[in-house]
Amino acid sequence: MSETNCMTTGKASRLSATNRAILIAAFVLLVAAIGYAIWRDSAPAADQASEGGAAPGDQLAALEARVQREPESADAWTALGGARFDLGDFAGAAAAYEKAVALSPESAGLWSALGEARVMASERDPMPAAASKAFDKAIALDAKDPRARYFLAVRKDIGGDHRGAIEDWFALLADTPQGAPWEADLRRTIEQVGAIHKIDVAARLAATQARPLTADEMPVAARAIPGPSRAEMEAASRLPKGQQDAMIQGMVDGLEAKLKANPADVDRWIMLMRSRMTLGETAKAAQALKDGIAANPAAAGRLKAQAQLLGVPGA
């Protein structure tokens, strides 16, 4: 989203030095926590290597090719929609999500993603009728869908019910788990709309806290696991960029290899999603969520909760 677009999935971007160091340190943390060796020297399969190092345009081409091969796969169309959205092709994203919802019409997350893409693709109308309809469909399927709730409040604001919109945003904030990707933007939206329409929200915002995380939502790295040390962070940041990138790629490849050997390790699936999101590889993060749930259907709730906190598309 823009200033009022707080549910937008994470845009793919160049990995900053800080994020690179954090990602490396996160792997160090995971090694210490669950005691497995990182496969730095393991060679990835040829297709994984080429895909991992592909430019955004090449990754998009691969996803375009995938939907040609799998035209009846909602997951393939969802991944393509997320990739197009990340690249700013909102009309293209909407077209892909339309294919996805046609194949998977009971997914609230897909309907709200479609609605958001339609909003972003509209040059004049801030809430096109087709987008509004998609959000209504999402909320009918899942009354708690945060993106649909946000945009339906936007619809109220556009329609002149500014106080009603603010009330709905406060209700969403009350249901927002601590640390959710949209929490800060949601607070900023409430503050900005209140200022524009002379509605005092400062005291209420100050008194409103995001709800505590449930056990399933608690980040894996926060479960009685010490954080990465300053020395680990500094050691990661001192490596030349090329070595950092090679290390990260080797870590992610090793993590995926471990998951192929033991797909029942739910914590590693969450770590893979987090790694992909940190790298800006949102489509791959969404695929990791799908694969993790397929391998661990009993842990679907936990995996989805973690994915929502990470901002994984379709979660």
Paired strand residues for 211: 177
**Once rounded to an integer, what is the mean pLDDT over residues 140-150?**
91
**pLDDT score of 234 more than 80:** no
Q: What is the pLDDT of residue 191?
A: 92
What's the CA angle centered on 181, arms 87 and 164, to 5 degrees? 100
The model's confidence at residue 134, banded by pLDDT at 50, 70 and 90, is very high
Q: Which of 5-19, 152-166, 234-248, 259-273 has the lowest mean pLDDT?
A: 5-19
Q: What is the pLDDT of residue 91?
A: 96
Whether 279 is in a domain gets the answer: yes
C-alpha dist (Å) from residue 143 to 51, 152, 250? 37, 11, 41
**Between 95 and 286, whose confidence is greater?**
95
| Residue for token pair 């993790």 | 292
Q: What is the mean pLDDT of the chain?
A: 76
Whether 140 is in a domain gets the answer: yes
Whether 264 is in a domain gets the answer: yes
| Spatial CB neighbours of 281, under 8 Å, sequence gap ≥ 6 | 12
Whether 1 is in a domain gets the answer: no
Give the predicted TM-score (pTM) of the model: 0.58
Q: What is the DSSP string of 49-115?
A: HHHHT--HHHHHHHHHHHHHH-TT-HHHHHHHHHHHHHTT-HHHHHHHHHHHHHH-TT-HHHHHHHH
Whether 9 is in a domain gets the answer: no
Supply the CATH number for residue 296's domain: 1.25.40.10
**Once rounded to an integer, what is the mean pLDDT over residues 39-45?**
23
Whether 189 is in a domain gets the answer: yes
Whether 315 is in a domain gets the answer: no
Q: What is the pLDDT of residue 223?
A: 44
Q: What is the pLDDT of residue 270?
A: 87
The model's confidence at residue 226, banded by pLDDT at 50, 70 and 90, is very low
Nearest to 216 by CA among 147, 78, 290, 315: 315
The model's confidence at residue 215, banded by pLDDT at 50, 70 and 90, is low
Nearest to 24 by CA among 250, 224, 219: 250
Domain that holds residue 132: 17-310
Whether 10 is in a domain gets the answer: no
Paired strand residues for 177: 211
**pLDDT tens digits, one per residue of 238-263:** 666 667 667 677 777 888 888 888 89
**pLDDT tens digits, one per residue of 269-299:** 988 888 887 777 788 888 999 999 999 998 8
Domains in the chain: how many in total?
1
Q: What is the pLDDT of residue 219?
A: 56
Give the Cα separation of 309 and 315 in Å (integer): 9
Nearest to 257 by CA among 44, 2, 19, 8: 44
The model's confidence at residue 132, banded by pLDDT at 50, 70 and 90, is very high
Q: Which helix (H) or strand (E) holds 47?
A: helix 46-52
Share of the chain above pLDDT 90, in %: 35
CA–centroid distance for 104 within its chain:
19
**pLDDT score of 228 more than 50:** no
Torsion angle of the four alpha carbons 75, 256, 250, 305, in this order, in degrees rounded to the nearest 10: 70
